[in-house]
Chains A and B, each alone.
Chain A
Amino acid sequence: MGNTPPSNLPFLARVGVALRCFWQALTRPEFARQARALLGPGVAAAPAASAAVPPEQAQAPALHLLSLLQREGRLIDFLQEDIAGFDDAEVGAAARVVHAGCRRVLTEGLTLEPALREADGASVTVPAGFDAQRIRLTGKVAGQPPFRGVLRHHGWVATAVQLPTLSPALDPRVLAPAEVEL
């Protein structure tokens, strides 16, 4: 077809490019200089960059959940450590700390229920029109529902979320502050 112009990027792809430009401009002075030239005169007044939510604010609830798991259960300390050199007794002792604290975060912040009420190993019927997000079929999957099968894992569904509310003054990137004893 010769010289047809390339087709326009879809919206989501453009969001991706915008975010990458944002980061690249922030982190690479050379990119920022080139982008400025590309944008042409009047770039100083362009609000595009300043209007974007910083990524850490967009992800604040996820980062905060991590900080809760660290504060109550030392999860990040545990995962960041190389456990290969320690014996099972030491790993087990640490796991108790992680388990007790992270469990507290889960029970206080979420109401969890199994996706299916039957016990693991029970025979279950998967009805026609089942919720494919709540039930995953494994093994010999063929034909049309209803299916008969054995429950291998009852799944988990969060039926309520009561996570803390966060102040905008909080820097969500700090998952655990450094502690300095005076």
Chain B
Amino acid sequence: METRAERPDEGLSRPYAIGIDLGTTNCAVAWAGLAEGVAGGVADFPVPQLQGPGEVASRPLLPSFLYLPAESEFAAGTTRLPWGGEAGPIVGEWARAQGARVPGRLVASAKSWLCHSGVDRTAAILPWGAPPDAMRKLSPVEATTHLLAHLVAAWDHAHPEAPLAGQEVVVTVPASFDEVARTLTAEAARRAGLPQFTLLEEPQAAFYDFLARHRADLAGALSGIRLILVVDVGGGTTDFSLMQVEATSSGPRLRRLAVGDHLLLGGDNMDAALAHWVEDEWRRAGRKLGALQWSLLVQAARAAKEALLGEAPPESYRVAVAGEGSRLLGGTLSATIPRAEAERLVLDGFLPHCAAEDAPGRGARTALQELGLPYAKEPAITRHLAAFLREHAAAGHAALAAEPSLGSPPSAPDVVGQASSLPLEFGHFPADSRPVMA
């Protein structure tokens, strides 16, 4: 935006704008040709990754998982990627699958560790709980670096003529990331080979997407709107942002009013809640699950959730999980999840109707327990939201009462994202590593 002119290398050709969504559970990369502009559209970049030993395929998402193999665990050459990278941890789909078999060598939720102020985020603590002499552990920053480095290498391999480091790169972070987490994300990106990039808050990115989709009728889409609430329920985390829309002569202008706490609560917890319900059914029938079967059950529960809560849902959904041995018949466990049960577990459990004065409870819930990370105790996203809105009620009411500031000329031609109004929106990190706020 307007800060681009301050950047020292302005004038170099940057054919692509590239967005990296560094998620708690999955990472994704999307790109657009700068020459084509908005009309050219945005395309996903399918990420090549190991699916198993010696097997590489591209997938729309890169699961944010790292697996640290033991020496001689895999045959020589079978952990190699098309661009090399044999020595590092396994990243993505295979890491997730192998981690279900060997949980002690799996690094998951690196992003949540990055914003966990209760631990030393630069210390080699992951996989959490693994004995110190079992492997060379990774710090949350190193883990994030490996994820980003994989994306950089994958892009560069597919686009040798336009390496990622030379493009207009945006990396998204949760609005609730504290300063340390932002700085560490920036450090990881630089270590991964990105000398210049922009950190953009995720709710802001969501709002830009809204703007792009409504660019033809923006004034109409935002007419009468003073406050915007962005609720971002991701795989592992949930974030709330409250933003004020100010009308200006050149279009709507956005000002961030409040950001909620970084809640470790998301779609993965809903899958786990459904899976626990099924596991209880099986336990009553005297069947027990191994670790691998549990991870298969969670996958099946995700499919059940998407079917039962999607468009034209069936009355029930059957899930089946194979036994560990080579005998499929007799060893397979199956269960039927009725739609009412899925609605009770997911909608009533995580998104219940609640009063404006409701507060998040403090009761522990087994579905959310995992040692190490400070998971939210209260699973109801709506109660967290009620508390968030109550906390920022004064700012919200003030914004609603404010007169539209029509006529005040904006300081730059941009419709949103002005320097004075969004202090944390654009953190540019140019080569000299000094954060420049737009």
Contacts and interface: CB of A to CB of B under 8 A. Distances in A.
B57 A94 contact: no
Contacts of B318: 96
B297 to A, nearest CB: 11
Interface stretch (A8-16, A24-32, A139-147, A161-169): A161-169
B55 A167 contact: yes
Chain A to chain B: the 9 pairs with minimum beta-carbon distance, closest first: A169-B77, A170-B54, A167-B54, A164-B57, A96-B320, A93-B334, A93-B332, A164-B55, A94-B328
Given A77-B326, A97-B320, A97-B328, A169 B55 contact: no
A97 B52 CA distance: 19
Contacts of B334: 92-93, 96
Contacts of A171: 75
Interface string A58-75: 000000100000010010
A94 B329 contact: yes
B54 A77 contact: no
A167 B79 CA distance: 9
B308 interface: no
27 contacts: A78-B329, A90-B329, A91-B329, A92-B334, A93-B332, A94-B320, A94-B329, A94-B332, A96-B318, A96-B320, A97-B320, A97-B328, A97-B332, A98-B328, A162-B57, A163-B57, A164-B55, A164-B56, A165-B55, A165-B56, A167-B55, A167-B78, A168-B77, A169-B54, A169-B78, A169-B80, A179-B101
A100 interface: yes
Of A64, A97, A98, most B-chain CB atoms within 10 Å: A97
B139 interface: no
Given A94-B320, A96-B320, A108 B332 contact: no
Nearest to A87: B329
A94 B329 CA distance: 6
B333 interface: yes
Interface string B327-341: 111101110000000
B55 A170 contact: yes
B300 interface: yes
B395 interface: no
B55 A166 contact: yes
Interface in A124-168: 162-168
B52 to A, nearest CB: 7
B57 A97 contact: no
Nearest to A171: B75
A175 to B, nearest CB: 11
Given A94-B322, A170-B53, A165 B82 contact: yes
A83 B56 contact: no
Nearest to A85: B329
Interface of B: 51-59, 75-78, 80, 82, 101, 300, 303, 318-322, 324, 326-330, 332-334
Nearest to B101: A179
Nearest to B318: A96
Given A81-B329, A93-B332, A98-B328, A165 B322 contact: no
Nearest to B327: A81
Nearest to B324: A179
Nearest to B82: A165
B323 to A, nearest CB: 10
Contact of B328 (A77, A100, A109): A77
A171 B52 CA distance: 13
A78 B328 contact: yes
Contacts of B327: 77, 81
Interface in A78-135: 78, 80-81, 83, 86, 90-94, 96-98, 100, 108-109
A165 B58 CA distance: 10
B322 A97 contact: yes
Nearest to A165: B56
A98 B331 CA distance: 13
A155 B65 CA distance: 40
Contacts of B58: 162
Given A83-B329, A93-B320, A170-B78, A71 B52 contact: yes
Given A74-B322, A164-B51, A166-B55, 18 more contacts: A77-B326, A78-B328, A78-B329, A90-B329, A90-B330, A91-B329, A94-B328, A96-B318, A97-B321, A97-B328, A98-B328, A108-B59, A109-B57, A164-B55, A164-B56, A165-B82, A167-B54, A170-B75
B249 to A, nearest CB: 50
A171 B326 CA distance: 20
Contacts of A166: 54-55
Nearest to B78: A169
Of A74, A80, A168, most B-chain CB atoms within 10 Å: A74
Contacts of B82: 165
